[in-house]
Structure 1
Amino acid sequence: MLSESPFVGEGHRKVRARLAAKGIAAGKNRVPRLMRENGLLAPVRRGRPRGDRSHGGRIQTERPDELWGTDAARFRTRREGWCWFFGEEDHCVTDVVGWHAAKKGDRWGGPGAGTAGRSRPHGGLFAKAVASGLGLRHDWGSQYRSKAFQAEIKWLGIRSTPAYVGEPECNGVVERFIRTLKEECIDLNDFETLEEAREVIGAFIERYNDGWLLQRHGYLTPARARDKLSRRAA
Structure 2
Amino acid sequence: MTNLLKVQDLQAAYGHAQALFGVSFEINQGEAITLLGRNGMGRSTTIKCLFGLLPVMAGSISFCGQQINKLPSYSIARLGLGLVPEGRQVFPNLTVEENLVATARAPARASGAGSAWTLKRVYGFFPRLQERRNNLGSQLSGGEQQMLAIGRALMTNPQLLVLDEATEGLAPIIRAEIWAALKELKHEGLSQIIIDKNVRALLDFTDRHYVLEKGQVVWQGDSKALQSAPHVIEQYLGV
The TM-score range, normalised by the shorter chain, is under 0.3
**Higher RCO (Cα < 8 Å, 6 or more apart):** 2
Larger radius of gyration: 1
The answer to which structure has the higher strand fraction is 2
